[in-house]
């Protein structure tokens, strides 16, 4: 990737119009790799560049005055989704998960499309009351690759069941989910790729497709009810223990490898 002007790098990362980005630099609000830079035309290699941008209150929606930023030409992040958030840009009843992200991630310009705003988008959706691992990216091909049922990327869910499964029924309960159950609107049975009852009320379910409310409907189809639902893994990528609910981070090279990217 050839070097780019700082104002263009900031623009491409979603810090606002080029003129706004040039202003941030001229006002001394931007440090590059730890050193202040007040020339918007100064050139840097963008990928992996560390920036600190000060004085963004109100525009990023964050309370702190500055934002430490690592530049990535294509954004791929993970979020530990808390309960009580919808995965929609225009939520109907609950706040949107996108409000948990800094504005640059939400208003990144669409690559190759002048003036269009793309921002990151969730790779598939989790229900409002579901918690756990959610990936978001601004790369349409990646969304397709990770979300399309054809690619069979596995997703692991920790399911809290309303009714304890009595031990004599455990094996048949698990077997029914592995064999496949019919969901109301779909003639083809959907099956779990893997299924384990860890305790009478804790089911671990692995799916490779992602139909609407699939876990809840599968559990209902075998006569139980989901009380809590948490996604712990996508592919071989586990939700890190140190990522608190509501926090996000970039995917590292090693994380991408765990997703087969």
Out of 10, 71, 229, 251, the residue judged to bind ligand URA by CB under 6 A? 229
* Active-site position among 127, 129, 184, 209: 127
Helices and strands, number each (H, E), in the chain:
7, 15
HSE, CB side, 13 Å, CA atoms: give it for residue 171: 1
Number of other residues whose CB lies within 10 A of the CB of residue 69: 20
Task: Please state, in angstroms and rounded to a whole number, the distance separating the CA atoms of residues 248 and 133.
Answer: 10
Nearer to ligand URA, 46 or 132 (CB): 132
Does residue 216 touch ligand URA according to CB under 6 A?
Answer: yes
Task: Please state, in angstroms and rounded to a whole number, the distance separating the CA atoms of residues 138 and 74.
Answer: 6
Out of 215, 239, 251, 259, the residue judged to bind ligand URA by CB under 6 A? 215
Does residue 202 touch ligand URA according to CB under 6 A?
Answer: no
In whole angstroms, the minimum distance from the beta carbon of 186 to ligand URA comes to 14
Nearer to ligand URA, 54 or 127 (CB): 127
In whole angstroms, the minimum distance from the beta carbon of 13 to ligand URA comes to 30
Out of 59, 213, 249, 256, the residue judged to bind ligand URA by CB under 6 A? 213
Per-residue b/e over 13-30, b at no fewer than 16 CB within 10 Å?
Answer: bbbbebeebbebbeeebb
Does residue 190 touch ligand URA according to CB under 6 A?
Answer: no
Q: What backbone phi and psi angles, to 5 degrees, belong to 20?
A: -65, -45
Block residue for tokens 């050193």: 35
Pattern 117-156, binding to ligand URA, x per CB under 6 A? ---------xx--x--------------------------
127 is an active site residue: yes
């Amino acid at each position: 990737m050839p070097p780019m002007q700082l104002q263009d790098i900031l623009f491409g990362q979603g810090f606002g119009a080029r003129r706004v980005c040039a202003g941030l630099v001229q006002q001394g609000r931007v440090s590059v790799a730890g050193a202040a830079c007040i020339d918007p035309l100064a050139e840097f290699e963008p990928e992996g560049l560390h920036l600190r941008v000060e004085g963004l209150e109100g525009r990023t929606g964050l309370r702190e005055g500055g934002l430490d930023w690592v530049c990535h030409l294509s954004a791929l992040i993970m979020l530990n989704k808390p309960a009580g958030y919808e995965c929609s840009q225009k939520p109907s009843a609950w706040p949107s998960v996108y409000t948990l992200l800094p504005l640059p991630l939400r208003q990144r310009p669409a690559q190759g499309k002048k003036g269009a705003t793309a921002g990151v988008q969730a790779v598939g959706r989790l229900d409002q009351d579901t918690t756990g691992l959610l990936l978001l990216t601004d790369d349409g091909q990646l969304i397709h690759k990770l979300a399309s049922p054809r690619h069979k990327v596995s997703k692991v869910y920790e399911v809290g069941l309303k009714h304890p499964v009595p031990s004599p029924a455990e094996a048949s309960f698990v077997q029914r989910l592995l064999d496949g159950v019919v969901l109301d609107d779909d003639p083809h049975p959907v099956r779990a790729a893997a299924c384990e009852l860890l305790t009478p009320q804790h089911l671990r379910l692995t799916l490779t497709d992602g139909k609407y409310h699939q876990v809840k409907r599968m559990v209902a189809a075998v006569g139980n009810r989901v009380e809590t639902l948490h996604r712990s893994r996508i592919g071989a990528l586990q939700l890190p223990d140190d990522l608190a609910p509501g926090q996000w981070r970039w995917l590292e090279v090693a994380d991408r490898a765990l997703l087969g990217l």
